[in-house]
Amino acid sequence: MNIGISILLAFLLDIILGDPRRPTHPVVLIGRFISFLENCLRTVFKTSKGLKAAGIILWVIVVFTVYFATFFIIKTASNFNWFLGQIINIWLLYTAFALKNLSEEAFKIFEELKKNNIEGARKRLSFIVGRDTVNLDSREICRAVVETVAENTMDGIISPLFYAFIGGAPLALAYKAINTLDSMVGYKNERYKDLGWFSAKMDDIANFIPARIGGLLMLLASFLMRLNTRGGLKTLISDAKKHESPNSGIPEAITAGVLGIRLGGYNSYGGVMSFREYMGENFREIVLEDIKTTVKLSILTSILGLIIGEVIRCAIL
């Protein structure tokens, strides 16, 4: 089956079914594999220098194992039965996308806030962000949701799409492994600053091109939604570089600009307060409806990524 058709079917499956995290879900299995290898490597490498080397070993083993395991699973199934191979291929591609889950989680928080259930909104928010949520007010919850949806539009949808079009399910799942490594060990805290440095760096590299393509798609989506595209472009140019990530600042800056709001500010992580540079002009306060608008922007950006990817692939082939 053509890769483009497989990606289209997988994308539609994600929209219809979402991405339930069962014990057999590839990302869950990848996470367990990472934890197992981390424990093994920590018993061997003790020093700072040793842990930095272990971080490279961890990344190489996980990413290459996921790529080749996915490749051989599909190939073996296809050799046994062509139809079975296609079903497995589509299913594996489907698990790489997270559009429906991202949208649903954001809307659940939206509904809790709409009912003035601040505790429920805080609890829901804690499922999708790393920052502390117990003391956030409704405005800060809205900011957290907008920032998270904007950022995850890239690494949860656009980047997997990009790698799927290039290398099918094996490369898309390898990207998910890279992203999962970053989310599990790519921290700058005392525990992971040595072991996780390589995973964090490789995640930045893996997302570099997709984030910039995704930024263009997001600007196009904002134009189609009749948002302030000019403001989005202006904020992209002036503020995206303020973000600590070379990639996450792109969607967040665009979102701030097209909505006419300011993102960034103080966040608490494990009780430790940190400041993220502001992006966008504070033309108005963030309101509840900004969550809904950001989700719509994310969905349209993703659909444009799928359509344009399909067109380019057909044109090349």
In the chain, which ranges are E strands? 263-269, 272-279
Tell me which of 273 and 297 has the higher pLDDT.
297
Q: Which residue has the tokens 């954001």?
A: 106
Q: Which residue has the tokens 């079914």?
A: 17
Report CA 314 to chain centroid distance, whole Å: 26
Instruction: Please give the pLDDT value at position 56.
Output: 96
The pLDDT mean for the chain works out to 93
The arithmetic mean of pLDDT across residues 93-109, rounded, is 94
Instruction: Please give the pLDDT value at position 93.
Output: 96
The arithmetic mean of pLDDT across residues 150-170, rounded, is 96
Query: Using one digit for the tens of pLDDT, what is the confidence trace for 216-275?
Result: 999 999 999 999 999 999 999 999 999 989 999 999 999 999 999 999 999 988 888 889
The percent of residues above 90 in pLDDT, for the chain, comes to: 82
CB 182 within 8 Å of CB 151: no
Query: Using one digit for the tens of pLDDT, what is the confidence trace for 203-217?
Result: 999 999 999 999 999
CB under 8 Å to 119, separation ≥6 — which residues? none
Instruction: Please give the pLDDT value at position 274.
Output: 87
Lowest mean pLDDT segment, chosen from 109-113, 133-137, 187-191? 187-191
Tell me which of 48 and 226 has the higher pLDDT.
226
| 1: pLDDT strictly greater than 70 | no
- Global pTM reads 0.93
The arithmetic mean of pLDDT across residues 67-90, rounded, is 95
Q: Read off the tokens for 261.
A: 């709001």
